[in-house]
A and B are shown apart, each in its own frame.
Chain A
Amino acid sequence: MAEFTTIGKRLAMLDAPAKVTGAGLYADDLKLPGMLVGKILHSPHPHAHIRAIHTEKAEALPGVHAVATGQDVPRPYGILPIGHDECVFTADKARYIGDNVAGVAAVDTATAERALELIEVDYESLPAFFDPIESMKAAEHRLHADKPNNIEKEYHHVFGDPEEGFLEAACVREDHFYCSEVTHAAMEPHATLAAFDADGRLTVWSSTQVPYYLQRTLSEVLELPMSQIRVIKPLIGGGFGGKSEVISVEVAAAVLARKAQRPVKICYTREEVFYAHRGRPITIIDLKTGVSREGKITAVEARVVQDGGAYCGYGPVTILYSGALLNAMYHIPNVRYDGYRVLTNKPACGAMRGHGTVNVRFAFESQLDMLAEEIGMDAAEIRRRNFLQAPCMTVNGLRVTSYGYPECVEKVVERSGWREKKGKLPFGKGMGLAGSHYVSGAANPIIRSNMPHTTVNIKVDRDATVTLFSGASEIGQGSDTIQVQLVAEELGVSVERVKLVAADTDLTPVDLGSYSSRVTFMAGNACLEAAREMKRQILEVVGKRFACPAERILFRDERVFCPDDPERAMSFEQAVLAALDAPGAPDARALVAKGTYTPPAEAQGGKFKGAGVGPSPAYSYSAQVAEVTVDPETGQVTVDRIIAAHDCGRALNPLSVEGQVQGSVWMGLGQALQEELIWEKGRLMNPSMLEYRTASTLESPPIETILVESVDPEGPMGAKEAGEGSLAAALPAVANAIYDAVGVRIKSLPITPEKILKALREKEKQSKGTQKDEPAGI
Chain B
Amino acid sequence: MNKQLIRQLINGQAHDLAIYPNRSLLEVLREEISLTGTKCGCDDSSCGCCTVLVNGMPMLSCVMLAASYQEAEITTIEGVAREGQLDPLQRGFCEAGGAQCGFCTPGMIITARALLEANPNPSHEEINQALGGNLCRCTGYTQILESIDRAIQLMRIHREAAVGR
Contact = CB atoms under 8 A, between A and B. Distances in A.
Interface of A: 12-13, 15-26, 28-29, 31, 184-189, 235-238, 240, 267, 269-270, 475-478, 655-656, 658-659, 662-663, 665-667, 688-690, 694, 696-698, 700, 702-703
B47 interface: yes
A200 to B, nearest CB: 29
- Please name the 9 residue pairs, one residue from A and one from B, whose CB atoms are nearest each other, closest first: A22-B37, A476-B101, A666-B140, A19-B102, A237-B103, A690-B46, A22-B77, A29-B36, A16-B94
Interface string B100-136: 1111111001000000000000000001110111111
A188 B103 contact: yes
B138 A659 contact: yes
Given A20-B94, A20-B109, A663-B139, A237 B129 contact: no
A688 B80 CA distance: 29
Contacts of B137: 184-187, 238, 240, 663, 667, 694
A22 B76 contact: yes
A24 B81 contact: no
B61 interface: no
Contacts, number: 180
A208 B90 CA distance: 27
Contacts of A22: 35-38, 76-78, 106
B22 to A, nearest CB: 9
B86 A270 contact: no
13 contacts: A17-B94, A184-B137, A186-B137, A187-B103, A187-B137, A235-B102, A659-B139, A663-B137, A663-B140, A696-B132, A696-B134, A698-B129, A703-B142
B40 A28 contact: yes
Interface of B: 30, 34-44, 46-47, 49, 76-78, 80-81, 86, 89-90, 93-97, 99-106, 109, 127-129, 131-145
B141 A697 contact: yes
B97 A655 contact: yes
B101 A236 contact: yes
Contact of B36 (A25, A475, A666, A702): A25
A734 to B, nearest CB: 14
Contacts of A659: 97, 100, 138-139, 143
A188 B39 contact: yes
A533 B49 CA distance: 44
Given A22-B78, A23-B37, 4 more contacts: A476-B100, A663-B100, A666-B140, A688-B42
Contacts of A24: 102
A696 B133 contact: yes
Nearest to B101: A476
B161 to A, nearest CB: 22
A186 B137 CA distance: 6
Given A188-B39, A663-B138, A476 B77 contact: no
A299 B76 CA distance: 59
Contacts of A269: 43
Nearest to B96: A655
- Say whether chain B's binding surface is mostly helix, strand, loop, or mixed: loop
Contacts of A702: 142
Contacts of B133: 696
A13 B97 contact: yes
B140 A237 contact: no
A688 B140 contact: no
A24 to B, nearest CB: 6
Q: Which of A184, A475, A689, A694 has the most CB of B within 10 A?
A: A689
A270 B101 contact: no
Contacts of B142: 658, 662, 666, 700, 702-703
A757 B127 CA distance: 32
B102 to A, nearest CB: 3
Nearest to A664: B140
Nearest to B81: A21
Nearest to A25: B36
Contact of B86 (A17, A187, A655): A17
B34 to A, nearest CB: 8
Contacts of B46: 270, 688-690
Contacts of A663: 100, 137-140
Contacts of A187: 39, 41, 47, 49, 101, 103-104, 135-138
B32 to A, nearest CB: 12
Given A22-B76, A26-B39, A270-B44, A700 B141 contact: yes
Contacts of A694: 135, 137
B97 A667 contact: no
B47 A13 contact: no
Nearest to B133: A696
A20 B49 contact: no
A697 B131 contact: yes
A21 B80 CA distance: 7
Nearest to B105: A19
Q: Which of B105, B109, B127 has the most CB of A within 10 A?
A: B105
A672 to B, nearest CB: 13
A702 B47 CA distance: 21
